[in-house]
């Protein structure tokens, strides 16, 4: 039957994309945007996560900038929380940065 394409909201795709990040791996906002179907909307991705009421549901700690940098100033829970979570998953975090060459989702 003619299935109606229920297009999820932008933030919903972000949630899916971020959730699909393998454990012990990180992804950049650009990758999330591309995974959400909007390559280039890296800005909107960050905004969506920030404004989206999905704390605890989205592993934002796996989302890093293109330079492998985290967001300690806006991180949930606490500043060191992000780094702690990443390290707990096997990601080596150094100075709020991760080695994209090894941990970025490819």
Residue 21 contacts DNA per CB under 7 A? no
Report the C-alpha gap between 68 and 70 in whole angstroms.
7
Q: Is 96 a catalytic residue?
A: no
Q: Which listed residue (16, 30, 79, 104) binds DNA by CB under 7 A?
A: 30
CB count in 10 Å sphere of residue 102: 11
Q: Which listed residue (48, 85, 86, 98) binds DNA by CB under 7 A?
A: 48
SS3 content of the chain, % helix, strand, coil (to 5): 40, 10, 45
Which residues of this protein are in contact with DNA, per CB under 7 A? Answer: 9-11, 28-30, 38, 40-51, 60, 63, 65-67, 71, 73-76
Residues with catalytic roles: 60
């Amino acid at each position: 039957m003619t299935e109606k394409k229920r297009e999820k909201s932008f933030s919903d795709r972000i949630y899916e994309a971020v959730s699909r990040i393998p454990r012990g791996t990180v992804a950049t906002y650009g990758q999330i945007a591309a995974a959400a179907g909007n390559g280039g909307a890296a800005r909107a991705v960050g905004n969506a996560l920030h404004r989206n009421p999905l704390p605890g549901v989205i592993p934002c700690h796996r989302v890093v900038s293109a330079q492998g940098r985290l967001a300690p100033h806006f991180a949930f829970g606490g500043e060191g929380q992000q780094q702690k979570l990443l390290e707990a998953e096997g990601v080596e975090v150094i100075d709020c940065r991760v080695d994209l060459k090894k941990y970025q989702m490819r």
